[in-house]
Amino acid sequence: MDYSTLLDEDVLAFIKETLSFYPDDLAPDDWPTQRAVYDRMADQFRAARPKGLPVCDDTIAGVPVRCYGHPSEAIILYAHGGGFVLGGLESHDDICAEIAVASGVQVVSIDYRLAPEHPHPADFEDMQAVAKDLTQQHSIVLCGDSAGATLCASVAGVWNSPRLLGQVLIYPYLGYPMNGGSFDAHANAPLLSLNDLIGFADVRGVKQETARAIPCLGNLAQLPPTFLFPAECDPLHDDAFHYHREAKSAGADMQIKTHSGLVHGWLRARHRSGRAAAAFDDILKTLKSLVG
């Protein structure tokens, strides 16, 4: 796949700048260094928080969280990406702040435990605990990117609540076999390759494939209104379409839109790429429609 012609100059520049943070001799299993590099990279693209937005750190159900905006009846619970081993409250701070302002409701960003120190199901348990706690007093929308989207979909597939208004899944991993289609066509895509996916899955430490780890094994018929936003140049692209097809067949309310000319991790390019900015606007409008 010739990404130099498939992607525009802004996206190619974003990819080049992202990769510039990763030294050639970085060991794939040196997670402290991997996290430090990832955090420095995320900070490079970090935008200033909108002025006047109240932000505070807290704990919910014993899990660290960061809250953006004033308390509201409906809340967006956001789970960050990073392959279940990278990222945290800082790496997605600006994204959550912008979502809070655009949606007009509070955003709660969850700092779930990371592998390999805390193998699955620690990540799922944290996500579910916070979601259940919030729904004691609020309606919620689940939203996440990459691994965070996986956690959202896993929770929605095993837990049904009338206070779960919907889920918004940004370039998610949903658990279908990693072969054929985009898994082959985009196996060497920029910023996320098929080998990367396999590596992250190994480190996550799933000992038994259940719906708590693999969203496509969940009860798809019970899913709340779901919006899928895969990236075109991403091995995970077709994973979202398999989920969409099976969930619709089960009777779920599902919508999907491919963001063309974009790669996995494009959220950080939303202020540097017209394509990414338009895609982020799609997501913001969708979230606002769900929280009413």
Q: Which amino acid is at 69?
A: G
- 152 has pLDDT over 90: yes
Please say whether the dihedral angle defined by the alpha carbons of residues 128, 133, 136 and 142, taken in this order, is positive or negative: negative
For residue range 68-119, what is the model confidence (pLDDT) as tens digits?
A: 999 999 999 999 999 999 999 999 999 999 999 999 999 999 999 999 999 9
Q: Are 254 and 188 in contact (CB under 8 A)?
A: no
Q: Are 149 and 172 in contact (CB under 8 A)?
A: yes
Query: 64: phi > 0 → left, psi -120 to 50 → alpha, else beta; which?
Result: beta
For residue range 37-59, what is the model confidence (pLDDT) as tens digits?
A: 999 999 999 999 999 999 999 99
Reported confidence tier of residue 141, pLDDT bands at 50, 70, 90: very high
- 66 has pLDDT over 90: yes
Contacts of 171 by beta carbon, 8 Å cutoff, 6+ apart: 81, 145, 146, 149, 229, 230, 231, 234, 236, 240, 264, 265, 266
- 207 has pLDDT over 90: yes
User: What confidence score (pLDDT) does residue 134 get?
Assistant: 98
Average pLDDT over residues 235-251: 98
What is the domain partition of the chain in residue ranges?
Answer: 3-291
Reported confidence tier of residue 1, pLDDT bands at 50, 70, 90: confident
Statement: the pTM of the whole predicted model exceeds 0.95: yes
- 62 has pLDDT over 90: yes
User: What confidence score (pLDDT) does residue 92 get?
Assistant: 98
Mean pLDDT, all residues of the chain: 97
- 3 has pLDDT over 90: yes
- Give the up-direction half-sphere exposure of residue 128: CA atoms within 13 A in the CB hemisphere: 18
SS (H, E, C) the chain: CCHHHHCCHHHHHHHHHHHCCCCCCCCCCCHHHHHHHHHHHHHHHCCCCCCCCCEEEEEECCEEEEEECCCCCEEEEEECCCCCCCCCCCCCHHHHHHHHHHHCCEEEEECCCCCCCCCCCHHHHHHHHHHHHHCCCCEEEEEEECHHHHHHHHHHHHCCCCCEEEEEEECCCCCCCCCCCHHHHCCCCCCCCHHHHHHHHHHHCCCCCCCCCCHHHCCHHHCCCEEEECEEECCCHHHHHHHHHHHHHCCCCEEECCEEEEECCHHHHCCCCHHHHHHHHHHHHHHHHHHC
Task: Measure CA 178 to chain center.
Answer: 19
User: What confidence score (pLDDT) does residue 90 get?
Assistant: 98
CA distance 280 to 170: 10
Instruction: Tell me the CATH architecture of domain 3-291.
Output: 3-Layer(aba) Sandwich (3.40)
- Pick the residue with more confidence: 1 or 235? 235
